[in-house]
Structure 1
């Protein structure tokens, strides 16, 4: 059943959008936006004055607040608060018309484009920065995948370009050449010449496409993209392989080009609107058309709404009307290729006999409240789209209950930012997860785009701890109580396995770690299990509750909580201890995620354990291969280091790793954690906090730094722990720089006539050439007595060598 309602007295392009929960219907035309209360249809709509010459309208949410963006053919993109119904200001001004804009990155940014051929990414909020790239042709429409941060950009030449916006610099992933209708967009001045007046509905034939062009739409689970073709068909592609056609919808087809298309909120159906005044409903599972509606007027846009148990569709027309089609399809269906939500093929296959190591246990609804939200978000209500809150289960925990609250920890992992979070991050790459209604999705990406292709998979287990290497990724669900699911995936998709781990009451997986040859899973009760890369358990140990763990190809480093403080352990992969229950000098603070004592835990490129605490100091462990000799050296104040290299206020950094003598990190602005899109890594030279003051050049700091780096590298070389073939050359270079730093101080002491200090410094020089240089400096300053003593020092060394 359909019903036609007049919204605007004057004719014109009418755009419709529902709020995410379906409770509001937004209808706009030039200069006017009306807001209808879907739950109380008898109420008069609220009205907001907006831009004129509207070309697109979109609705988004951020932290439960509704916002809108409008673009105009006069080249303006404006931002609106839809809850308070007021303008938040203009985001973009372009000399040519803007054609489309979408919310991106969970609603925190806006991507827009138009006749100038540029895509502009605008950060909302105080930063309000704009980044632009050139597409090579006019932008007619933008479809955005908020799960994979992918933009499908339709161009006037018929191409569709796919851009990845997961990093600060977008990457072009694929181009569909000449696939859609070609459109020559008219600029605002050209439209004025045609005497177009949308408010009175006069559309000359030459200006049919002024209102907008049908773009592409992404499936709600982020896997599939529907593209309207120039043959008036709808082709569907999977983002795992953009070049291969997944399927075409079959059955009743449009006789004229498409105007709009949208997947249903659950992805079970697709609706398309054509210039032939047809609204067609397509079923995802069967890939066929199931319903066809004939419109009394030309449709401009469509939007899916939620009725009483069924989805409905609202269409905006070119006469200022909206048409409501009730009970289009039922809401309970889901929409993958087979019509149901399934895991990856490897996730759904029967478990091998290795599963016998971990007997299955009943599901437990209790999930560790790692985001501080106080509830488990299992699914959302279909009526309100709000999270259904589950009562926390009270579990009898052991008598040992530390005042410090251990939380699930992954190196580089962040708390939830809306419906997304980074699971883990290091110098190799990163993985992030996005919450959907009935499951999550995980995307794995790499800083070196030539290493592996980015890939994604469905997560039915709620993974929230992870570890990534060049070869694969390890994930675990930190479910508290009965069991945890552990999954390993190789990046080449050749090896995948899933295992179930039984847990004690109150226990959860607190950290996992992966290297090229081994896997470790640690829990909040101190159980540490070692597995092969094929899921075979090889060792189990009980220790103090584990806060974090990382492993290299030869060693395991764990941080534990015991007697009110953090301790650390270093073992080889056979379990032999080098350091055991030694104090870790980090301050404890219980409570929020931001006060957690660990920001980063990793092995340096040369195999030494490193930690970054909440105080932002990078500490590296020295002399740890010798009993009772281990000591932590602060080799960088990361907060000071990033401020020296980056411009702007409120600059911080997020740890990735230590690469030789450079700290690898992600710069954050205005936040403690990396946001979306992810900035490119920044390398900060290590600098020891000798004086605590910022100085451009400090020979004392140079000296101590090179002593520390030389000691670390020499120890690693002596124990065959260095994989870098240039290690010996680097050690020789450190020795040269050590002497150079000594000579700077020697020269300063000579200028100050501090001859005793100068002679002491000369005695520390290692190379004969450096001693000769010191002698020349003293001779140039006519310090004869010092020259004689250096000469005697050189002669004594020569005799010793002989």
Structure 2
């Protein structure tokens, strides 16, 4: 199939640069003239044009909301993609801007210019600047790694400087010498260290006109791409890292297979030197700009015979002796529930190697063993055929079969994230956060607090490689998996004690691993692969060990003396297990809820379990719904009530924003979270900002075209349901604990809020007419005020709207309550 080449005159002849937005919907170009063009992906229409005051633009980067351009006069400006107007001038440098690099989360932009200093600027607060000064000459090109915590700067002196941005003071962590050319900053040859999508390595053009892969773990040289005869001018990885495309000063464009470092195709239709090049984030499209002011969008760039490589999952970086490469880095591990794996590029490669004649017609993927030679073994998950003890010269061909097994919910640690490059968060909450860095031979763990007047941050070398952590005002809790040197370990480190601070560790029995941890101000809880729940005091004294009824365990949470555990239960009609939870009071040895079903709809996964600041169990699911457990202290009475459905937030109205939310805490009657933009699934590095949203119970839909009175009434209905739920939770707390005077006062105040909401609802019904009188009376019966003041006010509201009969009924209800003839359970209106 011929490649569709689309050339567009974007700017006046001269150097032209561009950037895709992360979601791939827009492409922003900048060139020598004073106009910025914004192209819509997949559209043949004319681009939007923004006339700016500057010209001779030398770099552009973009997020989904804005773009940033650098100019020859030293200005770096941020523009809004929606309003098409300038938001800020982020900085002004003495000389021309050489390059811009945007962190993966879009929060920081690195600026290289004629100045020796590289500025890393917060795009939302331009006064928040980090400065990099360890290099001895101007920087030519910049790049962030996958986590956004490492910045590589290619210098005119022929060195690559790697800076760590994980702390407030950036640090130079490596100088890489002997790779790139000593070049002027205006040279057409590229020297950028371009990071592979799996975050473990980068590739950089060398003096020998090759492309050298460098491992970030030890900064050693790995695989090499050889084939160009002149200096490289631009390069780009495919989004999954399976392909690499490069261009040189002789106008050659080459597509590479990353795994084998072989040339897949050479394109000879390039007319001008390519300056900037990117794969589309999702589609089979390569775009590039050149020295003649043109933008080229090559659709169906990867040929059909190699397109399977582009469709595969993220591939491993081409490293020497890499175990991930042996099993095809995109191949998923065999699922314990028996579900089949997703086909990988290696599967397709083996199919091509064997040829269609060697595959069965029914697609089962086994070879015909017509001569009984015994080579028709079952393939494993990676497409290789394994010998079977019964296979031999007389072995008979047997049909492939599979057995059904239920789909289990994987265990997880609340607040923990997967590895992103060599970093991951172990814990995120309102106290602070814990993150770890993989240093190959060991890990380094950092604990940071939001209130640094109360607690001091600390950092330690971690030879045990802790993979789970909890943090609160009392201490930090860690757990590590077993290894050849030690079994699984639980480690607790208190912040302060009135005696000498004593850390403690405990080792689990051999073969047992920790699946989740929780920490309260009175106990430590660990669930394990052995099905046990192990509970310790804060001083390491074992309090309880028992086997969980619902296994395998999923997660746990704790608050004061209460512990909540979640595990896999019976199988539902969709083949997935139903999650069961248990809540107990460890101190009193009482079971509040035993193996009750966790309220999750079909196809929805549990994302987090946490206790609110008032001690109520909460869960957050993959649909973005926050639920609280009501009446959980009474056995058999618990139910899950939604407090917030994040899909209905006003900020998402109209579909203008694409974002999700990482749960952090439920406190002060608000949902605290981290906003994840675009397709992000996990919190980013450096430290993410916390956001919070008020509760809003999803009582009803709110159409955009409804009138104000209907919208107002729906808001009042939502307020009533929300206040009634909060009053119920607070009443359970007061009745079942040694409540403080403040808590009792809060309960009375919340009852007043419930009655106020009902009073406003009654007024809204009276406003609609006398025919709504029965509903208005029903609302009056829900009021809880025993003094009669609220019912008196309700009667006056009815009189104001001239509903005399309704006023009489409400007065009669008030009198009966005063003499005790009506109680809360009386249904006789």
Same-fold call, TM > 0.5?
Answer: yes
* Structure 1 contact 446–454 (Cα < 8 Å) conserved: yes
Q: Distance in 2 between matches of 1:127 and 1:436?
A: 44
Which secondary structure state, in structure 2, belongs to the residue aligned with residue 626 of structure 1? coil
Q: Distance in 1 between matches of 2:85 and 2:568?
A: 42
* Structure 1 contact 743–770 (Cα < 8 Å) conserved: yes
2:697 aligns with one of 688, 691, 694: 688
The answer to whether the aligner puts 1:583 opposite 2:597 as a matched pair is yes
Which secondary structure state, in structure 2, belongs to the residue aligned with residue 605 of structure 1? coil
1:746 aligns with one of 762, 769, 772: 762
Q: Distance in 2 between matches of 1:92 and 1:785?
A: 66
Structure 2 CA distance for partners of 1:111 and 1:790, relative to 1, 3 Å: closer
* Cα-to-partner distance string for 1:748-792 (whole Å, 9 max, x where unaligned): 555335655544543443154322212212333444455455445
Structure 2 CA distance for partners of 1:162 and 1:393, relative to 1, 3 Å: closer
CA apart distance, 1:609 = 0.3
Deviates more, 1:567-576 or 1:640-649: 640-649
Counterpart position of 2:411: 408
Q: Distance in 2 between matches of 1:460 and 1:70?
A: 48
Q: Distance in 2 between matches of 1:525 and 1:374?
A: 33
Structure 2 CA distance for partners of 1:642 and 1:170, relative to 1, 3 Å: farther
The answer to whether the aligner puts 1:780 opposite 2:800 as a matched pair is yes
The answer to whether the aligner puts 1:572 opposite 2:585 as a matched pair is yes
CA apart distance, 1:132 = 6.0
Counterpart position of 2:319: 381
Q: Distance in 2 between matches of 1:384 and 1:117?
A: 44
* Cα-to-partner distance string for 1:626-651 (whole Å, 9 max, x where unaligned): 23332322333332246666862656
How is 1:331-410 mapped onto 2 (pairs within 5 angstroms)? 334=218, 381-382=319-320, 387-389=325-327, 403-410=406-413
* Cα-to-partner distance string for 1:339-372 (whole Å, 9 max, x where unaligned): xxxxxxxxxxxxxxxxxxxxxxxxxxxxxxxxxx
* Structure 2 contact 445–459 (Cα < 8 Å) conserved: yes
Which secondary structure state, in structure 2, belongs to the residue aligned with residue 742 of structure 1? helix
How is 1:418-429 mapped onto 2 (pairs within 5 angstroms)? 424-427=427-430
Q: Distance in 2 between matches of 1:774 and 1:684?
A: 32
CA apart distance, 1:572 = 2.8
Q: Distance in 1 between matches of 2:748 and 2:778?
A: 23
Counterpart position of 1:292: none
Counterpart position of 1:736: 752
The answer to whether the aligner puts 1:762 opposite 2:770 as a matched pair is no
How is 1:600-619 mapped onto 2 (pairs within 5 angstroms)? 600-619=608-627
1:635 aligns with one of 624, 636, 643: 643
Counterpart position of 1:96: 55
* Cα-to-partner distance string for 1:151-177 (whole Å, 9 max, x where unaligned): 554566665434468xx778825446x
The answer to whether the aligner puts 1:527 opposite 2:532 as a matched pair is yes
Which secondary structure state, in structure 2, belongs to the residue aligned with residue 135 of structure 1? strand
2:76 aligns with one of 118, 121, 125: 118
How is 1:19-58 mapped onto 2 (pairs within 5 angstroms)? 53-54=14-15
Deviates more, 1:513-522 or 1:607-616: 513-522
Structure 2 CA distance for partners of 1:332 and 1:628, relative to 1, 3 Å: closer
1:562 aligns with one of 560, 569, 572: 569
* Structure 1 contact 161–172 (Cα < 8 Å) conserved: no
Gaps of 5+ in 2: 1-9, 40-46, 196-201, 221-311, 338-403, 572-577, 704-710, 822-829
Structure 2 CA distance for partners of 1:431 and 1:679, relative to 1, 3 Å: same
Gaps of 5+ in 1: 1-48, 81-88, 182-208, 248-261, 280-296, 316-321, 337-372, 590-594
* Structure 1 contact 487–496 (Cα < 8 Å) conserved: no
Q: Distance in 1 between matches of 2:790 and 2:62?
A: 62
Structure 2 CA distance for partners of 1:700 and 1:238, relative to 1, 3 Å: closer
**Larger RCO of the pair (alpha carbons < 8 Å, separation 6+):** 1
* Structure 1 contact 143–153 (Cα < 8 Å) conserved: yes
* Structure 1 contact 409–465 (Cα < 8 Å) conserved: no
2:791 aligns with one of 742, 747, 771: 771
* Cα-to-partner distance string for 1:124-164 (whole Å, 9 max, x where unaligned): xx999998661254673568697998655456666543446
1:702 aligns with one of 719, 740, 759: 719
Which secondary structure state, in structure 2, belongs to the residue aligned with residue 382 of structure 1? coil
Counterpart position of 1:663: 671
Which secondary structure state, in structure 2, belongs to the residue aligned with residue 697 of structure 1? helix
TM-score, scaled relative to structure 2: 0.56
Counterpart position of 1:511: 516
Structure 2 CA distance for partners of 1:160 and 1:664, relative to 1, 3 Å: same
CA apart distance, 1:524 = 3.9
1:549 aligns with one of 549, 556, 560: 556
CA apart distance, 1:622 = 1.7
* Cα-to-partner distance string for 1:250-297 (whole Å, 9 max, x where unaligned): xxxxxxxxxxxx843xxxx5878768x9x9xxxxxxxxxxxxxxxxx9
Q: Distance in 2 between matches of 1:562 and 1:521?
A: 19
Deviates more, 1:232-241 or 1:633-642: 232-241
Structure 2 CA distance for partners of 1:61 and 1:652, relative to 1, 3 Å: closer
Q: Distance in 2 between matches of 1:313 and 1:663?
A: 44
* Cα-to-partner distance string for 1:448-503 (whole Å, 9 max, x where unaligned): 899989998887777655444467665545679995465667899x9997968556
Q: Distance in 2 between matches of 1:449 and 1:77?
A: 45
Structure 2 CA distance for partners of 1:237 and 1:638, relative to 1, 3 Å: closer
Q: Distance in 2 between matches of 1:640 and 1:244?
A: 40
Structure 2 CA distance for partners of 1:525 and 1:244, relative to 1, 3 Å: closer
Counterpart position of 2:733: 716
* Cα-to-partner distance string for 1:629-683 (whole Å, 9 max, x where unaligned): 3232233333224666686265654433333433334445654835657985554
Structure 2 CA distance for partners of 1:736 and 1:314, relative to 1, 3 Å: closer
How is 1:458-537 mapped onto 2 (pairs within 5 angstroms)? 465-469=468-472, 474=477, 476=479, 483-484=487-488, 501-502=507-508, 508-531=513-536
Q: Distance in 2 between matches of 1:525 and 1:630?
A: 28
Structure 2 CA distance for partners of 1:153 and 1:620, relative to 1, 3 Å: same
Which secondary structure state, in structure 2, belongs to the residue aligned with residue 563 of structure 1? strand
The answer to whether the aligner puts 1:135 opposite 2:94 as a matched pair is no
TM-score, scaled relative to structure 1: 0.57
User: RMSD of the TM alignment (CA)?
Assistant: 6.5
How is 1:444-455 mapped onto 2 (pairs within 5 angstroms)? none
* Cα-to-partner distance string for 1:21-61 (whole Å, 9 max, x where unaligned): xxxxxxxxxxxxxxxxxxxxxxxxxxxx9996549999x99
Structure 2 CA distance for partners of 1:745 and 1:536, relative to 1, 3 Å: same
Structure 2 CA distance for partners of 1:213 and 1:57, relative to 1, 3 Å: farther
* Cα-to-partner distance string for 1:44-100 (whole Å, 9 max, x where unaligned): xxxxx9996549999x9999x9xx9997565799999xxxxxxxx999986334445
Which secondary structure state, in structure 2, belongs to the residue aligned with residue 334 of structure 1? coil
Deviates more, 1:614-623 or 1:49-58: 49-58
Q: Distance in 2 between matches of 1:113 and 1:558?
A: 53
